[in-house]
Chain A
Amino acid sequence: GAGVSQSPSNKVTEKGKDVELRCDPISGHTALYWYRQRLGQGLEFLIYFQGNSAPDKSGLPSDRFSAERTGESVSTLTIQRTQQEDSAVYLCASSPKQDTDTQYFGPGTRLTVL
C-alpha cells in the first residue's frame, strides 16, 4: 500500500520567505510526527499530532515554526521568515493508533535557504 508521502521533495527559497511543507500520512494512521534532520546529524523532534488531541509542540525551535493537521489526514509544516539555519531535511512520520511504537517515515523534504 501507499506509504507516507511528502511534498515537495526539494525546496530552495530565499532568506526571509515563508515555506509550506506537506505530509500525507498512511491512511488510517492517527499519529503524525514532524522531524528535522540537519546534514550529518540525527533527527530532531518538532511536533506530534495524535487524533483530535492537542498537538505536542514542545520540539518547535521558534515561533516561526507552526504545523497544522486536518483530522487524521494531511499535515502542513509552515516556516515563516526562513533563515539559513532552517536548511535541513524535514521528515514526516505516521503510526497507527494500535501500534504507536513503530513510525513509518516519508522520504523527506530537503529545504535549502539561500
Chain B
Amino acid sequence: LAKTTQPISMDSYEGQEVNITCSHNNIATNDYITWYQQFPSQGPRFIIQGYKTKVTNEVASLFIPADRKSSTLSLPRVSLSDTAVYYCLVGPLNTGFQKLVFGTGTRLLVSP
C-alpha cells in the first residue's frame, strides 16, 4: 500500500478555508485516495474519496493533480467543531483483502 505523508498539525480560525495536503508518491494505478475525520474518543468517519481531478460533497472538496502523487482536502469555512484529526489513505478498492493503512494524520485545531 502507498505510504502517505501529511503535516502533523495545522491551526486555523473559524470561517477560514483549510487545505490539508497529503503526499503519496508511490500511488498505484488502481489506488484511490480517501480521507477520514476522527474526533477525540471516537472512531474515524469517512469524509470524501476520489481517484483524479476534483471531487466535492456536502462536507469537503478533494483536489487531485494529474500525476496523483498528492491530494488536497479542502474544508470551506471551518468551525470549531471541525477540530479533529484528518487521515489521508491510499489503497485499492474491491480487492477482497483490502485494508486501509492509517498514518498519524493531521491534527487540525480551529480557534475562535
Please give the residue numbers on chain A whose beta carbons come within 8 Å of chain B beta carbons, in ascending order.
4, 33, 35, 41-45, 48, 50, 53, 56, 59, 91-93, 100-108
B93 — which chain A residues lie within 8 A by C-beta? 100-101
A106 — which chain B residues lie within 8 A by C-beta? 43
Closest 9 interchain pairs by CB?
A: A105-B43, A43-B102, A42-B104, A42-B102, A101-B93, A102-B46, A48-B99, A56-B97, A91-B43
Please give the residue numbers on chain B whose beta carbons come within 8 Å of chain A beta carbons, in ascending order.
32, 34, 41-46, 49, 87, 93-105
A4 — which chain B residues lie within 8 A by C-beta? 43
User: Are B94 and A100 in contact, with the CB atoms below 8 A?
Assistant: yes
User: Are A53 and B96 in contact, with the CB atoms below 8 A?
Assistant: yes
Q: How distant is the Cα of A43 from the Cα of B100 in the complex, in angstroms?
A: 9
Q: How distant is the Cα of A42 from the Cα of B87 in the complex, in angstroms?
A: 8
User: Are B46 and A48 in contact, with the CB atoms below 8 A?
Assistant: no
Contact of B99 among A45, A53, A105 (CB under 8 A): A45
12 contacts between A and B (CB under 8 A): A41-B104, A42-B87, A42-B105, A48-B99, A50-B97, A56-B97, A100-B93, A102-B46, A103-B44, A103-B100, A107-B41, A108-B42
Known A-B contacts A105-B43, A108-B43; the reply to A50 vs B96 at CB < 8 A is yes
User: Are B42 and A107 in contact, with the CB atoms below 8 A?
Assistant: yes
Q: How distant is the Cα of A91 from the Cα of B100 in the complex, in angstroms?
A: 13
